[in-house]
Amino acid sequence: MQINWGNMLDDMKESGLWLVLLSFVVMFASTYTLLADGPWQTDQDGHGPFIVLLAIGIAISKYSGLKDVSGPSSPVFGWSFLVVGLLFYIIGSSQEILLLDVGAIIPILVGITLILKGYAGLKQFWVPIFFLSFAIPLPGWIMDTLTQPMKLYLSDLVVDQLFNLGFPIAQNGVVIYIAQYQLLVKDACVGLNSMYSLSAVGFFYIYLVNPESRVRAWALVACIIPFAFIANVIRVTFLVLITYYFGEEAGQGILHDLTGLVMFCSALLLFILFDTFLFRAPKWVANYRKRL
Q: Which residues are catalytic?
A: 189, 235
What are the DSSP calls for the chain, one per residue? ----HHHHHHHHHHHTHHHHHHHHHHHHHHHHHHHHHTGGGSTTTTTHHHHHHHHHHHHHHHHHHHHT--PPP-HHHHHHHHHHHHHHHHHHHHHT-HHHHHHTHHHHHHHHHHHHHHHHHHHHHHHHHHHGGGGSPPPHHHHHHHHHHHHHHHHHHHHHHHHHTT--EEEETTEEEETTEEEE--HHHHSHHHHHHHHHHHHHHHHHH--S-HHHHHHHHHTHHHHHHHHHHHHHHHHHHHHHHH-HHHHHSHHHHHHHHHHHHHHHHHHHHHHHHHHHHHHHHHHHHHH-
Structure-derived torsion over alpha carbons of residues 29, 32, 38, 43, reported in degrees to the nearest 10: -160
